[in-house]
Amino acid sequence: MARLPDELIERIKSDVSLLRLVESQGYQPKKQGKDYAISCPFHEGDNTPSLIISPKSNLYHCFGCNAAGSVVDWVMKTQGVSFRFACELLQKDLGLIADSGTQTVRQNTTTKLAAPLSIDADKQTALRQVIDCYHQTLKQSPEAFAYLEKRGLKSAELIDTFQLGHANRTLAYRLPEKNRKAGAELRGKLQDIGLLRKSGHEHFNGCLVVPIMDENGVITELYGRKLNDNLRPGTAYHLYLPGPHQGVWNVQALKASREIILCEALIDAMTFWVHGFRNVTASYGTSGFTASHLAAFKQHDIQRVLIAYDRDEPGNRAAGELAKKLATEGIDCLRLLLPKGMDVNEYAQQVTPAAKSLGLAIRQAEWMGEGRAPLRELDTEMQSSSPTGVIDTDTGEVISAAPEIPPTFTTPAHPAPAALGHPCPSAALPEPAASPLPEPESFVEAEVSEHETVINLGDRRYRIRGLHKNLSYDQLKVNVLVSRGEHFHVDTLELYNARQRGVYLKQAGLELGVNEEVIKKDLGQVLL
């Protein structure tokens, strides 16, 4: 289809009076100085008209929800049509709605696009059809993509795997009008589900929409997150379907891994997911760990939960209460200690590379139970199929071969689970993308003072200085002096850098007269 000429588009935007078009649709603008005001049709509760129409610029702007644009944008949003369709409609009206004319256009009560719902659809089918509609809307929505990019979630794989969508009010405009039988039935059905409110407005209008589905693709819940963060006070930014929460997001991960990262919110869980940590799910807020979550954990024999709630007072309190609850079910819990006041998504936006920092935070998770963290069966299984030791985050090199310490996995490239809506084989996901390190069975004594740490390993003495200068989880640059009798070697190195460790252990081996493998194992213990 040929592209509309720019000259025609500009003529439509300038010659078709937005004010007259708005009046033709039944609105009654009130004059305010040189402009006109109406109650905004794009958000609820606009009792004091906040949408301003400027005849001079032929533009509109709502100071409540920030909806704004030209006469073409107005038709797109109010009629639920594409840019081209809106231009074609307005092209026909050029002579009817010109600013100099007095003739108005009779409002059409037939929808311009086919309704996305079937009249005879049951509740689940209707939900599926709406989700499909929202999903296609997101793929054509610059503002939805901008929001995902801002949150570090602009991933085609994430969008398609979890059927993310965008509700922008066009759904209601694609339905037959309520004065028609089909329109009344469809709207009533959507109101019963909770997708439309009694006022006729879309419940999730202005939201990124995330469906929660079970293992068979049945939709059990919807989560909506408002795209704009500057809405009027009292506006809910997080929305769900009416009624109690049901279901577990990313339930496929529970089938493939007995260790799960549990976030406070879906945005945080998706943050882990896009960075390669696929063994993740989310509560519905700090008080939103439901019976569905617990039942799924028990059904799939989850043995260890890494609680990644926000690092604030409500998050800390909820994590403590949840750990006690899960402990009574025989499930071990560890706490991810992000910087104070931060959530997972915020932290991931401030560190580079985010995957490496998230992996390190996981490996440094704090045990929340009594005594020492137990070595679970899942650790033993992981040992039997993987090299024993700590794997370097840069190169994958095994740097410590202590047999009593389970391996730590960072961010390998995992195959995505099957698209939601279809059963996912139990082996579709690998073992956990990252695991915290339990304490070594053989305790390593260390003398810790204000300025240095001293560790004795056999006849070798390691003195480490400069720990306090490392201000993030991304680095571990220290000065290490190793001595054996009268022989010693000292250097400053980044312990997370395989190349620098390699140089250090070769030089130290030569100076001390010790096999390199001994120093290599020592450095693994020092790192831990």
pLDDT of residue 141: 85
What average pLDDT does the chain have?
80
Q: Give the lowest-confidence range in 97-106, 180-189, 339-348, 371-380.
A: 97-106
Q: Give the lowest-confidence range in 86-90, 154-158, 429-433, 434-438.
A: 429-433
Q: Give the lowest-confidence range in 279-283, 334-338, 417-421.
A: 417-421
pLDDT digits (tens, 9 = 90+) for 140-168: 888 899 999 999 999 999 999 999 999 98
Confidence at 178, pLDDT banded by 50, 70, 90: low
CB 352 within 8 A of CB 381: no
pLDDT digits (tens, 9 = 90+) for 192-232: 889 888 887 889 989 999 999 998 899 999 999 999 887 77
The three-state secondary structure class of 212 is strand
**pLDDT surpassing 60 at residue 496:** yes
CB 212 within 8 A of CB 248: yes
CA distance 208 to 333: 31
pLDDT of residue 423: 31
CA distance 170 to 178: 15
pLDDT of residue 334: 95
CA distance 119 to 188: 11
Q: Give the lowest-confidence range in 84-93, 174-183, 473-482.
A: 174-183
pLDDT of residue 93: 57
The secondary element (H helix, E strand) that includes residue 464 is: strand 460-465
| DSSP, residue by residue, 393-430 | TTT--B----TTS--B-----PPPPPPTTS---TTSS-
pLDDT of residue 412: 30
Report the first-to-last Cα separation within the chain, whole angstroms. Answer: 63
